[in-house]
Amino acid sequence: MTLLIILKISLMIFIAGNLLEMGLKLNPEDALKGLRDIRLVAYTFLWGFVLGPGLAYAITLVIPLEPPYALGLILLGMAPSAPFIPMFVNKAKGDLGFTAAFMMLVSIVIVIYMPLAVPLLAKGLSVSPWTIAKPLLLIILLPMVVGMLVLRWNKDQAKRINPIVKKTTGVFTVVTVVLSVIVFGKGLLGVGGTFAIVAQVIFFAILTTFSYWFSFGLRHEQKIVLSIGMSTRNLGAAVAPLLPIADLDQRAIVMVVLALPFMVISALLAVKCFGHHAPKDEASFSTGRS
């Protein structure tokens, strides 16, 4: 129980640190410029908050998952885009200006969307919308906004703070992974006799490929952002609704933790399959390309 409490604290610091680091690089002007792209907004909503959750829910109807695993998959479906996607987008020579708008939009919508959608789609999870919204506001939206405000007010200060935040987040990343293996190791080994792995393979494979193939009207550099954004999940947002529940079946968290290797592999495959046709010029958050 003590290790579980430490893991939750470490996880919250890890999530908040990632979003703070993102905010310290995320120029509001670039992000807002990208949000004027109607196709970006439309496809982000469609794939992130309609088709993604719908796919997860459909998989739970077709594949006989045990309820805790089904709950974990549905929560994953509602939380697109890991905070580290710029690293993969850069490898694929994607549009990082487009990424800035995408990440800001997704982060804001998650905080509004999940408190409303979780009670409707996540059967067996009886928590109020405010109970879900509180951790999302505190560990996702607030750190990102703080980082963006620091960047806007004092760019030099943001540059000085960023390496400290990055190193601290890196330490808590390792701590979170190690504690997850210790706390949920038995549960992770136990998924071998279930359909949890099959469900995740199907989920990530469809989202990674279809979001690229069926994002008509976007340039290649923008499609790769959407594909990588959908092939990764915000694990912090997915697990946040589970943190306040005292008598939770831990297999729901196991399902979320299990997604980590699958989403990394999916993002790497997106870079490999879709990224090699990209232009060879480098990009950065500050380019503001769209």
Helix (H) or strand (E) holding 230: helix 220-231
Q: Mind listing the pLDDT tens digit for each residue in 86-121? A: 888 888 888 877 888 888 889 889 989 998 888 888
Banded model confidence at residue 282, pLDDT cuts 50, 70, 90: very low
Question: Residue 286 corresponds to which tokens in the numbers above?
Answer: 């500050």
Q: What whole-number distance in Å separates Cα of residue 169 and Cα of residue 151?
A: 18
Tokens 């999302």 found at: 136
Question: Residue 72 corresponds to which tokens in the numbers above?
Answer: 């974990």
Share of the chain above pLDDT 70, in %: 92
pLDDT at 120: 82
Q: What is the mean pLDDT of the chain?
A: 84
Q: Which residues contact 156 (CB under 8 A, 6 or more apart)?
A: none
The answer to whether 106 and 44 have CB atoms below 8 angstroms apart is: yes
Question: Residue 275 corresponds to which tokens in the numbers above?
Answer: 């990224």
Q: Mind listing the pLDDT tens digit for each residue in 232-274? A: 998 888 988 887 777 778 888 889 988 988 999 999 999 988 8
When mean pLDDT is compared across 62-71, 136-145, 251-260, 271-280, the lowest value belongs to 271-280
Query: Taking 60 as the threshold, does the pLDDT of residue 281 lie above it?
Result: no
- Per DSSP, the three-state class of 80 is strand
pLDDT at 99: 85
What string of DSSP letters covers 206-228? Answer: HHHHHHHHT-TT--HHHHHHHHH
Share of the chain above pLDDT 90, in %: 29
Query: Taking 70 as the threshold, does the pLDDT of residue 286 lie above it?
Result: no
Query: Taking 50 as the threshold, does the pLDDT of residue 284 lie above it?
Result: no
7-44: string of b/e by CB count within 10 Å (b at 16+)? bbebbbbbbbbbbbbbbbbbbeebbebbbebeebbebb
pLDDT at 46: 95
- Per DSSP, the three-state class of 233 is strand
Quick one: how far is CA 242 from the chain centroid?
Answer: 16
Q: Mind listing the pLDDT tens digit for each residue in 177-229? A: 888 878 777 777 777 667 899 999 999 999 999 999 999 999 888 999 999 99
Q: What whole-number distance in Å separates Cα of residue 23 and Cα of residue 55?
A: 30
- Per DSSP, the three-state class of 189 is helix
Looking from the CA of 242 toward its CB, the CA atoms found within 13 Å total 30
Banded model confidence at residue 144, pLDDT cuts 50, 70, 90: confident
Q: Which residues on adjacent β-strands are paired with residue 80?
A: 233
The answer to whether 255 and 68 have CB atoms below 8 angstroms apart is: yes
Q: What whole-number distance in Å separates Cα of residue 168 and Cα of residue 161?
A: 11
Please choose, from the candidates 278, 205, 162, 183, the residue with its C-alpha nearest in 3D space to the C-alpha of residue 55. Answer: 205
pLDDT at 215: 92
Tokens 């390496």 found at: 163
Q: Which is more confident, 49 or 192?
A: 49
Give me Rg for the CA atoms of the chain: 18
CATH class of the region 2-276: mainly alpha
Q: Mind listing the pLDDT tens digit for each residue in 4-14? A: 788 878 888 88
pLDDT at 135: 82
Helices (H), 26-95: 28-34, 38-46, 52-62, 67-77, 85-91
